[in-house]
Amino acid sequence: MLQKLVRSTIIDAPIERVWAVLRDFNSHDQWHTVIKESRIEAGQSSTQVGCVRAFTLQDGSFIREQLLTLDDAQYKSTYCIVESTVPLQRYVATVTLKPVTDGRRTFWHWESTFATPPGRERELRDMVAQGVYEAGFENLRRHLMQGGDLRAPGTAPMPRALPQSCRRVVVSGYGGPEVLAVQDGEVQAPGPGEVRIRQRAIGVNFFDVYLRRGWIPEMLALPGTPGMEAAGTVLDVGEGVTGVMPGDRVACMTAAPGAYASVRNVPADQVVRLPAAVDDDVAAALLLKGVTADYLLRDLGRVQPGARWLVHAAAGGVGLLLCAWARHLGARVVGTVSSEDKARLAREHGCEHVIVTPNYRFAAEVRQHFGDGADVIVDGLGDAARRENFEALAPCGHWISLGQASGALQAVSPDWLVQKSATFSRPVAFAYVPTRAKLAERAERVWGALANGTLKLPPIERHSLEAAARAHERLESRRTTGALVLVA
């Protein structure tokens, strides 16, 4: 059986110089220490295709090899063994060089196929790989550079306990997406109880838009940085921090904004370690949304088999997770979306009936599908859908106001709710993860549901930190599906 052998290296010299040596089929005794003598038979030129070289090795072996290809345009030479005291059978080898254009270096690829007598495969392969190819790399390197060698770039450790430069998105005045601007800054060493994270992916949530618009000024004073969740790697930890170490991959969701940054200090109890199977951008896209779906279903909405759920923005980040998870837990789910594309996606994620409504009209269709209405409504729409939501609610139903994309919800009075004996909730995710253990428990359920297929990974749209404004424009346009992340 033929075996294939590949060895390659980088030579710190321009390709022309390396090729000038290797294209000469008779040069090996000048630079390869395994070759004692080399000559070309029959007085031919060493660049004549078809010529044969006769090698004597240091150990006394004798090999005759024939040049099959010499290609100066492709920097390629092919040759085979025609006679040898070493039992390499049907041996054909190719040397290929390629230029490393950003540094005047050369990539050298040396491969061959050959057969050996039974039982000697490993011995002869190692002999060729190490004794001929790898030794050849070293010998030519020495030959060319006379002792110069390749140094790996510095792998100095991250500075510890020093300020670290970072880029962050800063809102200097409340307004549209255009107020989001990137600034260079510094992040001090983590204080007691804090973890400093090199964030690689940051989740974008509609809540960030509210902060940017100035709807909750007590949470985002000016100038301020929005963002509630991110994932990355721990750089260092402050005094008294246990459970996370430098180098750990982590995700965080924080009660205070500030996540739109490449480096950030966060309280250690708002950080969870990530399993290897969960990438940074997946974690940033799903932590807050997944935890939200988890507390909505388990705690606030207490989902039961057969329960009728109405999920607005069913193709959005939280919506897709809710559809799939509620369905898995036995609930019936009707969703609303603004376009046919989104309807298809919501259906793929488990939504049994999707209402396409660009203008917040859905109550009649919900009642038609569910009989007397929905037991639970997860409402991110806000004021424009206020009356429709009330009409879509079943007796003793539960209206959960999660967001208000269309505008701040006017007061919902007790006298109005009493008409349907209804419950109205206005939850905040962070109240449902008061401790690191609770956060870890909910996060684990999300990653577990993702791993076992209960939750499908929603589409993730990526933007760079510098393009945060465009990410917000996209989110507010209602044209996105799934989750948006910023990469830093």
Partner 1 sequence: MIRIYVSSVIEASADTVWSRIRDFNGLPSWHPAIADSRIENQQPSDRVGCVRHFHTHDGGMIRERLLALSDFDFTCTYEILESPMGVDHYVATLKLTPVTDGGRCFAEWSAEFECAEGRERELVDLIGGGVFQGGFDALKRHFSRR
Using CB under 8 A, which of the segments 99-107, 189-197, 296-304, 323-331 binds partner 1?
A: 99-107
Tell me if 155 contacts partner 1 by CB under 8 A.
yes
Q: For partner 1, which is the closer residue by CB, 196 or 332?
A: 196
Question: How far, in Å, CA of 379 to CA of 389, rounded?
Answer: 8
Q: Cβ of residue 77: shortest distance to partner 1, in angstroms?
A: 18
Q: For partner 1, which is the closer residue by CB, 276 or 408?
A: 276
Q: Which two tokens stand for residue 147?
A: 């002792």
Tell me if 64 contacts partner 1 by CB under 8 A.
no
Nearest to 195 by CA among 240, 156, 153, 133: 240
Which of 166, 201, 288, 300 touches partner 1 (CB under 8 A)?
201
Provide the 3-class DSSP secondary structure of residue 2: coil
Q: Which two tokens stand for residue 371?
A: 């009989």
Which of 99, 185, 193, 243 touches partner 1 (CB under 8 A)?
99
Question: x/- contact string, 431-460, with partner 1 (CB under 8 A)?
Answer: ----------------------------xx
Question: How far, in Å, CA of 104 to CA of 88, rounded?
Answer: 35
Q: Cβ of residue 150: shortest distance to partner 1, in angstroms?
A: 8
Tell me if 344 contacts partner 1 by CB under 8 A.
yes
Peptide bond into 217 cis (omega under 30): no
Q: Which two tokens stand for residue 37?
A: 């003598």
Tell me if 19 contacts partner 1 by CB under 8 A.
no
Tell me if 147 contacts partner 1 by CB under 8 A.
no
Question: How far, in Å, CA of 335 to CA of 340, rounded?
Answer: 12
Which of 36, 64, 98, 167 touches partner 1 (CB under 8 A)?
98
Length of the chain: 488
Q: Cβ of residue 6: shortest distance to partner 1, in angstroms?
A: 6
Q: For partner 1, which is the closer residue by CB, 345 or 450?
A: 345
Check if the beta carbon of residue 488 is closer than 8 Å to that of residue 204: no
Question: How far, in Å, CA of 298 to CA of 302, rounded?
Answer: 5
Q: Tell me how far the alpha carbon of residue 35 is from its chain's centroid.
A: 49
Q: Cβ of residue 328: shortest distance to partner 1, in angstroms?
A: 21
Residues that contact partner 1, how many (by CB under 8 A) = 40
Q: For partner 1, which is the closer residue by CB, 98 or 436?
A: 98
Which of 166, 300, 345, 449 touches partner 1 (CB under 8 A)?
345
Check if the beta carbon of residue 458 is closer than 8 Å to that of residue 483: yes
Q: For partner 1, which is the closer residue by CB, 267 or 350?
A: 350
State the residue for tokens 């909405």: 301
Cα 325-331-333 angle, rounded to 5 deg: 80
Question: x/- contact string, 273-312, with partner 1 (CB under 8 A)?
Answer: --------x-------------------------------
Question: How far, in Å, CA of 269 to CA of 363, rounded?
Answer: 41
Q: For 299, list phi and psi in degrees, rounded to 5.
A: -100, -60
Check if the beta carbon of residue 342 is closer than 8 Å to that of residue 409: no
Q: Cβ of residue 14: shortest distance to partner 1, in angstroms?
A: 13
Tell me if 229 contacts partner 1 by CB under 8 A.
no
Pairing relationship of beta strands 105-115 and 62-71 according to DSSP bridges: unpaired
Q: Tell the burial category of 285 from Cβ atoms under 10 Å away from its Cβ (0-12, 13-18, 19+).
A: buried
Tell me if 248 contacts partner 1 by CB under 8 A.
no
* Sequence-distant (≥ 6) Cβ neighbours of residue 203 within 8 angstroms: 227, 228, 229, 230, 259, 284, 285, 286, 287, 288, 289, 483, 484, 485
Which of 8, 69, 183, 435 touches partner 1 (CB under 8 A)?
8
Tell me if 269 contacts partner 1 by CB under 8 A.
no
Q: For partner 1, which is the closer residue by CB, 314 or 402?
A: 314
Using CB under 8 A, which of the segments 8-16, 44-52, 54-62, 264-272 binds partner 1?
A: 8-16
Tell me if 125 contacts partner 1 by CB under 8 A.
no
* Ranges within 356-375 binding partner 1 (CB under 8 A): none
Q: For 167, list phi and psi in degrees, rounded to 5.
A: -115, 140
Which residues of this protein are in contact with partner 1, per CB under 8 A?
6-10, 98-103, 105, 107, 109, 134, 137, 152-155, 200-201, 281, 341, 344-345, 459-464, 466-467, 470-471, 474, 480-481, 487
